[in-house]
Amino acid sequence: MQTCRSALLILILLIITTLMTDAPTVTAPLHGSVVLSCSERCSGVVRWTVFSKRSDPLAECDQTSCRSVKEGYQMIYNQYLQGNLSLIITEADYSKRDWYTCECDGRDVCDVRLQIKPLRTPVQIKPGDSLLMELEVSDPVQVIYNSSTGSADGSSVQICTVDGESLQCKPEYKHRTSLLSVLELRGVNESDSGVYTVIDTINKEVIHIYTVIVTDVQQSWIWKDGYERGYRAGYRTGLATGGAGFGISFLVLGFIFGWCAWSRRIHFSRN
């Protein structure tokens, strides 16, 4: 009997997961506002909930008004009367990633999944420094490394996984990594340049993408300074050369016009 119950529970969970997978997904910028759209005529009570907490409403409307049951969630009464049952989340963050359900008088009318847009951070560091990667979420994550900054080149490999305070890394990275408030990769060199992607393994979501270039920062500044000096020197030389060229051109033109005027005067005086 216990085996049958377990099998039935697993089947129900699989069905629910399949149904929710088909729900539309909305991607919001971190700390930005987002609208979970839903269009349906409803003359009764409309209520938005997180799918896993159906008895805990976030916002609701009826024929008289709309109410924000929890801070950060709201519906608009005039839109509700017109059949727009959308939910507004005023500030999306990682804790709000979930499946949301809108119901009309207890009947499900819309399911929407909310994700957070991956963060993208370019990093330029010099050899020997440490690369620090924010993990952002408390869920288990994996860090994927791609040796190329191009999307089609290079090969991707999982270098570390983090689950709470547990850090597991490939042998070649184990002695170079540590986990405090961030994941630290020590003693980077030019071969560590590439793309590091932090992925939430439970929700299968990309959380953060680091595009890393390891280079001698001092040399790059020397090159930049030399380039700018050369540019300025070339600019001044160009101005001087151009000015001299214009001056000579005006002298030549003045001589030609003067000679022509003198020739015409001689011609008229003879006549």
pLDDT tens-digit series, residues 99-115: 999 999 999 999 999 99
Domain boundary among 62, 92, 116: 116
What residues make up the domain containing 100? 20-116
Same domain, 205 and 123: yes
Dist CA 7 CA 257 (whole Å): 105
Domain end (from 82, 116, 150): 116
Q: Is residue 127 part of a domain?
A: yes
Q: Is residue 251 part of a domain?
A: no
The pTM for the full model equals 0.70
For the chain, how many structural domains are there in total?
2
Q: In this structure, what CATH number is given to the domain that contains residue 141?
A: 2.60.40.10
- Going by pLDDT thresholds of 50, 70 and 90, the confidence category of residue 150 is low
Claim to verify: residue 208 and residue 169 sit in the same structural domain: yes
Q: φ and ψ at 167, to 5 degrees?
A: -120, 125
Indicate the average pLDDT of the chain. Answer: 81
Distance, CA of 139 to chain centre: 19
DSSP symbol at 96: G
Count Cβ neighbours within 10 Å for each residue of 230-255 and write b for 16 or more, e otherwise: eeeeeeeeeeeeeeeeeeeeeeeeee
Amino acid at 78: N
